[in-house]
Structure 1
Amino acid sequence: MPEMLPQHDTTRFLDDLRTAQISNLLVAAVIEFDVGRVLAAGPLLYDDLRERLGLADRSAIVLLTALRSIDLIDVHADHRIGLTAYGQEKMDPDSPFHLRGYLGLGRFSGDVQNMIQCLRDDAPAGNVSFVFHEDGPPSSLDDTETADTLTRAMADRARNVAPMLAAQLDLGQCKHLVDVGGAHGLYSLALLKKYPGLRATIIDRGPPLRVAQEYAEAAGCMDRVTFRLDDAHHAKLDDPADAVLLANLLHDYNEADARAMVQHYAGELARGGCLMVLDSLLESVPEGAPPVSAGPRPVAAYSALLFSICEGRCYRRDEIDRWLTDAGLSIDEATISLPAHGALVTGRKDWKS
């Protein structure tokens, strides 16, 4: 039976859900970090601006990307960051038309205060860890109740995206797909339904794998799936993979860990194999420019959400490309576009490697 497809694009629904994150960052930029006053005297280089704001690199990238995505700041040809005319009028304290007082009412919002704390600490809020590190603190991914809720929540989104991925992705020459941090496994299951000769290995922690087993059984695919309890950062495969999928995983981790994961699984590929990164990506910046993307705005909002609950953020397309090429892979020219600003970027291992 053909894979059932959603009748309505989920993009707008998720954009509407995440848009409040931009509001939280805008209020924080005005009432706590006073970006308008800092830039009122003129544009600054990224490192100088970050230092003036008292922010770590990840925090500065998330905040400044959000402001650029709504046209309040821009990057000049000399790579300095400055207020736009719009930003100057609304954020500069010397502007007769600034909205600083009005935005200041947002200081009474718990969500704004939470975001400010995340920016100050360069760390997610609360004591719940949504990522796993072998030598790190306890992870919610190993807590049965929390992980079950999280995995099923992520499955809601995947049901809207996985059929679209399977419809566009050609894995006809692949025999073994490895789904790293695959959780519910719905991306793999959609591809198994399309390709009867394909088998999949899903790598994750115990509680998410139990959900994946439930879904695989319902899909009639149990005999073609291996459920592997392992550390997604360093799992060594018994045999090289024809394809490795990192779906909505890298954005959970900081840049060093995300880059290391790409490097590791590039090494686990068979010759001619492909490593696929599925994620919501920010626009690239030119080489040598500050790491502040122009958007798009909905992805900047999603990046802020991720920033507040895990160690990562949304990465730019040029960052993903660089990690893949640094790992010795050649990037496919074709990129698959998916709902909710998703993009599938593929790096291939040379047959001679």
Structure 2
Amino acid sequence: MTHNALRFPETDPTPIFEHFRGNQGSDLLTAAVAHFDLFGSLDRQPCSFDELAQRLGLAARPANVLVTALHAMKLLELREGRLELTPLAREHLVPGSDFDCGDYLGLAAQTPSVLQMVSLLKSNRPIGADASDGGGAAFIYRDGIASAMEAADTARHFTLALSGRAKNVAPALAEVADLTGAQQLLDIGGGTGIYSYALLQKHPALQAILLDRPEVLRVAEEVGQRYGVLDRCKFVGGDMFADPLPADVDAILLSNILHDWDLPECQNLIGRCAAALAPGGRLMIHDVFLNDALDGPLPIALYSASLFSLTEGRAYSGGEYRGWMEAAGLKCSETIATTGVHCGLLIATKPA
């Protein structure tokens, strides 16, 4: 029986994912109150984002995750380049104020999840990046860090786990991704390949190349047998940051890839993709997108905290992606919203 990658679920799983990530908001808020005195500091003296990061002793990435979440919670606002407390935060989170409830939030200050979040914010390293804390990082590849995607059992586990979200999202991507006239798609970091399989089913003339780690591709080929498109798929093992990318392809898909990496890696990979595209080719970034003002939406801000905890990345705004793509010589379109689990699609074209 051939599986249909274009079939939408009858119900929207978005609330499940939001509930799953809800603890990130609790941990960030408690850390801000009980460990960083963020609200007391801004009450005494509003300041820029960079100045606040310096006050808190945080690098740019963790500071961005923390501030974006608090901004999305309507506790911070940006005025003339300075971060200030909202009336809600000023009345209830400034130490010593008449209606201060910070001590109440502080009851959770020593819980394991809050202490772990504080440690991650201060170290700017994902869970597993320290060799002393166990089995290695789940989703990143870095010299000196054991990666779960390099071992058969853990690669299979994590790849199939991630497909639980992907198979709900793939139909929406295929619905809006314009691949008119494209003959060859390069899916970088394709995982199980579910996004490619949906696009192949939607476009019968399309061929796909899936590039990922060898252990991941073993799972992708197994999963692909269910969708009846393996005759139009090629599986290429490699390192997307170091190995040559297939050249002169019509379209490249980065689906939920860039959010695993920090700014230099994102800019590097987008540049490599731009070079690999044929003239007139399309780079498609399928991901979650923060507002350009980095003030929400709250579900994406909390997803960003989850990404920050597990990878070297975070959620980015459409504006950040567009800036990197334009710097690589690509012409960007507006972000296209898709149905389900907060994803969207941003397409950029290489000039002919």
TM-score by length of 2: 0.94
* Alpha-carbon separation, structure 2, partners of 1:137 and 1:35: 32
SS at match of 1:281: strand
TM-superposed CA distance for 1:335, in Å, is 1.7
| Pairwise CA distance, 1:136 | 4.6
1:283 paired with 2:291, answer yes
1:52 to 2:55 alignment:
yes
What's the offset of the Cα at 1:284? 0.2
Amino acid across the alignment from 1:60: A
Residue in structure 2 matched with residue 189 of structure 1 by the alignment: 197
What secondary structure, in the 3-state scheme, does the structure 2 residue paired with 1:218 have?
Answer: coil
Amino acid at match of 1:29: A
Aligned to 2:132: none
Please name the residue that 1:289 is paired with: none
1:201-240 map, 5 Å = 201-240=209-248
Aligned partner of 1:317: which letter? G
- Which residue pairs with 2:272 in the alignment? 264
Deviations 1:34-65 (A, max 9, x none): 11111112311222111111111111100011
Question: Is the 8 Å Cα contact of residues 211 and 240 (structure 2) preserved in structure 1?
Answer: yes
Give how far 1:20 is off: 1.1
Aligned to 2:111: 109
Shifted more, 298-307 versus 2-11: the winner is: 2-11
> Structure 1 residue 297: deviation in Å?
0.2
Partner of 2:25: 22
**1:91 lines up with 2:97 in the alignment:** no
Counterpart CA distance in 2 for 1:147 and 1:35 is 39
> What is the alpha-carbon distance in structure 2 between the residues aligned to residue 91 and residue 15 of structure 1?
25
Contact 1:131 1:253 (8 Å CA) reproduced: no
Partner of 2:297: 296
- Corresponding position: 1:6 with 2:9: yes
Deviating 4+ runs (over 6 angstroms): none
- Alignment partner of 2:128 out of 126, 129, 137: 126
Query: Equivalents in 1 of 2:242, 2:337: separation in Å?
Result: 27
After TM superposition, give the deviation of residue 304 of structure 1 in Å. 0.4
Cα 1:334/1:250, change in 2 over 3 Å: closer
Q: Which residue does 1:80 correspond to in 2?
A: 82
Cα deviation code 1:64-121 (max 9, x no counterpart): 1111100111101x11001111111111113111111101111231111110000010
Is the aligned partner of 1:66 residue 2:69?
Answer: yes
CA distance in 2, matches of 1:84, 1:134: 40
- Superposition deviation, residue 167 in structure 1: 2.0
Q: In the alignment, residue 62 of structure 1 is paired with which amino acid?
A: V
Distance 2:311 2:286 in 1: 18
Tell me if 1:313 matches 2:314. Answer: yes
Runs of 5+ consecutive residues of structure 2 not aligned to the other structure? 130-135
SS at match of 1:108: coil
CA distance in 1 between counterparts of 2:48 and 2:69 reads 17
Q: RMSD of aligned C-alpha atoms?
A: 1.4
| Alignment correspondent of 2:36 | 33
Contact 2:177 2:345 in 1 (8 A): no
Q: Distance in 2 between matches of 1:233 and 1:243?
A: 18
SS at match of 1:20: helix
Is contact 2:176–2:336 with CA below 8 Å preserved after alignment? no
- Unaligned ranges ≥5, structure 1: 286-292
Question: Aligned partners of 1:333, 1:80: CA distance in 2, in Å?
Answer: 28
Paired residues of 1:89 and 1:96 also in contact (CA < 8 A): yes
Distance across 2 between alignment mates of 1:151 and 1:98: 45
Percent of matched pairs sharing the same residue:
38
Shift of 1:4: 2.0
CA drift at 1:334: 5.6
Question: What TM-score does the superposition give when structure 1 sets the normalisation length?
Answer: 0.94
Q: Aligned partner of 1:346: which letter?
A: I
For residue 332 of structure 1, what is the aligned residue in structure 2?
333
Q: Secondary structure at the match of 1:172?
A: coil
CA distance in 2, matches of 1:254, 1:96: 41
Give the whole-Å Cα distance in 1 for the aligned partners of 2:246 and 2:141: 22
Q: Is the 8 A contact 2:211 2:237 kept in 1?
A: yes
Cα separation, 1, equivalents of 2:165 and 2:96: 45
Measure, in 1, the Cα distance between the counterparts of 2:339 and 2:351. Answer: 27
Shift of the alpha carbon at 1:134? 6.3
Q: Distance in 2 between matches of 1:170 and 1:91?
A: 48
